[in-house]
Amino acid sequence: MKKIDKIVVDKIVDLYRKISITPSLFVKKEILKVKPKGKREKLFIDSYIENNRLSFKNRTPLCQDTGHLSVFIETPSNFCFDFDIEGELKKRINFKSKKFGLRYSIVDFKGKYSNYPSVYIFQGKRKNLKIVLMAKGGGSENLSKLFMLNPSSSLDDISEIVINCVEEAKDRGCPPYILGIGVGKSSLESLLLSKLALTGKFSHNRKGYEKILSEKILKGSLNVKTGFSGLGFGKTLLDCRVIIKERHIATLPLSVQFNCFQERVGVLYL
């Protein structure tokens, strides 16, 4: 049995800072593909570029909402932690957030603020340790949806529901958006599947019907004219990442997760 020591905590904390100040290359490429046609469009593009430049230069967050951090840890069967990793991460991330200028965005019902992360640990078939971080703002999180569909629902039915979610979202979660779709398992697990898919670092769009559903949603979303920051230009939806699993014959859970254009995701292999 291979024990994982506390060095991993330092690496996670460093990566959290990095994703907080480094723009997503995928999103950046997609946004800069679009040529502004008017003053508002040009102002958005120029502001986006300047924000990225200042964030990199000053080592300051890309957004004032530094997000709720989710830490997904996939371990091989012969790995184990010999310490309380969730407790250590809470302590270190809280301490370092102040030093890095990252806002405390988590609050309990007593009014105590923190930057406590959510930590998920599961066993995989990997030979090494894989850790995926995703910091997601409250605006995009508020757009999350869970549906319990008729078990006979088709891919077309699912696609129509998801596209309606994108239309209803309007600009409330800072578009252009990225979607994570989880279908199957239970209501609880479909939510987890959609969040794993949203990171882009797990097995999404691998199966034929996952690709078909993703393509249907992306194609249908072209008719949604919300656009960048609600300005009506550029794509409203940049990517759709789908994981579909088996489910009970009487159920069809569907979970939809949004991410904003400040996609803050990173991965460690140890």
Q: How confident is the model at residue 126 (pLDDT cuts 50, 70, 90)?
A: confident
d(CA 270, CA 253): 34
| pLDDT tens figures, 11-21 | 999 999 999 99
Could you tell me what percent of the chain has a pLDDT over 90?
91
Element (H, E) at 214: helix 208-221
Q: For the chain, give the percent of residues with pLDDT over 70.
A: 100
Query: Domains in the chain: how many in total?
Result: 1
Backbone phi, psi, residue 70, to 5°:
-110, 135
Task: Tell me the per-residue pLDDT of 202-212, one tens digit each, with 9 for 90 and over.
Answer: 999 999 999 99
| pTM confidence score | 0.94
The predicted pLDDT at position 3 comes to 82
Residue 239's domain comprises 2-269
For 249, half-sphere exposure in the C-beta direction (CA atoms, 13 angstrom radius) is 0
Residue 111: what pLDDT?
Answer: 96
Q: Which of 158, 171, 189, 191 is nearest to 233 (CA)?
A: 171
Q: List Cα–Cα distances, 126 to 72, 119, 120, 233, 261, in angstroms.
A: 14, 19, 16, 42, 30
pLDDT tens digit string along 51-67?
999 999 999 999 999 99
Across the range 33-41, mean pLDDT stands at 92
pLDDT for res 125: 85
Instruction: Say what the pLDDT of residue 150 is.
Output: 98
What pLDDT is recorded for position 80?
85
> What is the number of other CB atoms lying within 10 angstroms of the CB of residue 170?
13
Q: What is the pLDDT of residues 229-259, one digit of tens each?
A: 999 999 999 999 999 999 999 999 999 999 9
